[in-house]
Structure 1
Amino acid sequence: MNDQEKNTQIAQETEIREEQVAPEATPEVATESAGATTATESPETTTTEGEAPQEKTKETTQETQEQQELSPDEKIQNLEATIESLKQELIRTKNELEKTTAQLQAAIAQYRNLQADFDRFRERTSKEKQELEFQVKKRVITALLPTVDNFERARSQIKPANDGEMAIHRSYQGVYKTFVEGLKQLGVSAMRAENQPFDPNYHEALLREPTNEYPEGTVIEQLTRGYMLDGVVLRHAQVKVAVPLETESAPAESQSPPEQPQEEKGEENN
């Protein structure tokens, strides 16, 4: 084999080796390429997720730059406008507060009026109830008073002649006593009229007796007992009242001719 053939063979072997080595290196290159691609895509993804905060930061930066770019007069005008807006808001809030306060005061006044009306209604109802109870009790007791009068007349007029009559008399008086005690528990009390000055608020004068033994206007005798119910007159006492004796009439005046007028006397003299 000559030198030319040897060189050709060596060249062929070298090519075969290079072809064998090339496929083994391909995965590494692919891995590196993928890593590069991922590295390239990651900043884009990060940029997309952080896009909103970056935009806000940009807006704030722009506003700050705009404020920095404003002149002092413009800044003062902006502040004055802001203050005026706050004043208007304060006025609106104050008006709403006053309106709410007025509504609250009106509601409180209405509540107090309703409470006062209810108290008056309750008081009036209580008085009406008491008055109704009093009137009913008064009518019932007034209807029973003639029975009491009959017991008192029987006690003063009946004179028991024997033990049997006395026993009956005591039995009737026991009933009378029980009856009177029941009336006392209901608030009934008897008047004491004899030897008292006549008072039309409590007494009813049926008879008048001329006498000098008692002062004028004194109750001499009680004909029918009077009664009170809870301090109110239930029935006036019927009484006899003393009046003074009639005095003798004054003597008649002596008859004398009337005096003539002065003019007539003068004419007669002439």
Structure 2
Amino acid sequence: MVEDTKNLDSPIEPGSTPESTADAAPGNTIESNLGDDAATTEVQVNEVFDTDEDSQEDDTPLDSAELELVVAALQQEITTLRQQLNTQSQQTEDFKGQYLRIVADFENFRKRTSKEKEEMELRIKCNTVNEILSAVDNFERARLQLKPTSEDGISIHKSYQGVYKQLVEGLKKIGVSAMRPEGQEFDPNFHEAIFQEPTTEYPEGTVIEQVVRGYLLGDMVLRHAMVKVAAAPEVSSDDAASDGES
């Protein structure tokens, strides 16, 4: 009993670390960990600075020979790039020229096709109208030759003349017009002379009469007019003799 009391009353010597006291003081462990981290950080910083110093030591200036080699390599690269640029520019000009030629060819093709289409339509129209003109001629001959006297004949005459008028109006709508060459000077571009009549009433070469009517389609001759042309009057033998005596 005395020993136990003595042990309880004895003070703890400084520097001694009882197991219970060491287990109950976690602050000593935290401080030791912080110390280790700080040491590690310092080592890493030193390594970084050491690396920068090494790189600075390796960054030595180039001598003149190495500098000339670098400049020559850059000049060669510039020359190569310029050659490539010139090649690309030439190819661009070639492509542009090809494009312009294709556009011009297409425009010419479009104009030629449009012209051929118009000419084909005109030929078809001319052929169709020429077939109709034969019927128009027959109507005109009937009008000039037939002179009905009975009521039935007059009625029939008016009926087919109405058809003739309707036909002529339809031709006018598509641009067909009849020639009126009487009294004009003979023109082979529009007229075809089938008779010549000596006369003093008209100057020589004047169209006296239109035998078969000519037609125009716009400004184009659809059918030449067959005409009678005035010729110089014939000189009789008596007139010739009197002229010789004078």
Please state whether the residue corresponding to 1:166 is helix, strand or coil. Answer: helix
Give the Cα separation in 2 of the matches to 1:181 and 1:129. 26
| CA–CA distance in structure 1, aligned partners of residues 93 and 55 of structure 2 | 48
Identify if the C-alpha distance between structure 1 residues 47 and 144 changes in structure 2 by more than 3 Å, giving closer, same or farther.
farther
**Structure 1 length-normalised TM:** 0.71
Determine the C-alpha separation between the residues in 2 that align with 1:242 and 1:59: 123
Q: Which residue of 1 aligns with 2:173?
A: 185
Structure 1 segments unaligned to the other structure (5+ residues): 1-8, 252-270
Residue 103 of structure 1 deviates from its aligned partner by: 1.6
Superposition deviation, residue 29 in structure 1: 9.9
Q: What is the Cα deviation at residue 102 of structure 1?
A: 1.5
Alpha-carbon distance, 1:47 to partner: 4.3
CA distance, structure 1, for counterparts of residue 35 and residue 27 of structure 2: 12
Task: Tell me the alpha carbon deviations over residues 122-176 of structure 1, each in whole angstroms, 9 at most, x when there is no partner.
Answer: 1111111111111111111100001111111111122231444333222222211
* 1:236 counterpart residue number: 224
Residue 61 of structure 1 corresponds to which residue in structure 2?
56
Gaps of 5+ in 2: 242-246
Counterpart of 1:62, as a letter, is E
Q: Match for 1:174: what amino acid?
A: G
Change (3 A) 1:94 1:147: same
Alignment partners' CA distance in 2, 1:206 and 1:215: 18
For residue 156 of structure 1, the aligned residue among 125, 130, 144 is 144
Structure 2 length normalisation: TM-score? 0.78
Give the whole-Å Cα distance in 1 for the aligned partners of 2:111 and 2:183: 42
**Cα offset, 1:84, TM superposition:** 3.2
AA of the residue aligned to 2:180:
R
* Matching residue of 2:244: none
Identity %: 43
1 CA distance for matches of 2:152 and 2:43? 134
Matches of 1:185 and 1:146 in 2, distance apart?
18
Amino acid at match of 1:166: I
**How big is each residue's C-alpha offset from its partner over 1:5-61, in whole Å with a ceiling of 9 and x where there is no partner?**
xxxx9xx97xx9779x5425655999758855763465346645995x557624531
- 2: distance between equivalents of 1:29 and 1:78? 67
After TM superposition, the structure 1 = structure 2 runs for residues 11-22 of structure 1, keeping only pairs within 5 Å, are 21-22=16-17
Change (3 A) 1:54 1:190: farther
- 1:109, CA displacement in angstroms? 1.4
| C-alpha distance in structure 2 between counterparts of 1:151 and 1:18, whole Å | 156
1:217 matched to which residue of 2?
205
Q: Give distance in 2, aligned partners of 1:49 and 1:131.
A: 95
Other-structure match for 2:113: 125
- Using the alignment, how far apart are the partners of 2:53 and 2:34 within structure 1? 28
How far apart are the structure 1 equivalents of 2:49 and 2:151? 131
Equivalences for residues 242-253 of structure 1 within 5 A: 242-247=230-235
Q: Would the alpha carbon gap of residues 42 and 135 (structure 1) be closer, same or farther in structure 2, given more than 3 Å must change?
A: same
Letter in 1 for 2:234: E
Amino acid at match of 1:247: V
Could you give the per-residue CA deviations for residues 206-230 of structure 1, whole angstroms, max 9, x where no partner exists? Answer: 1122222222211111110000112
Q: Tell me how large the CA RMSD over aligned residues is.
A: 3.4
Please give the alpha-carbon distance, in whole angstroms, between the structure 1 residues aligned to 2:142 and 2:55: 118
> How has the CA–CA distance of structure 1 residues 204 and 105 changed in structure 2, closer, same or farther, with 3 Å as cutoff?
same
Alignment partners' CA distance in 2, 1:63 and 1:109: 56
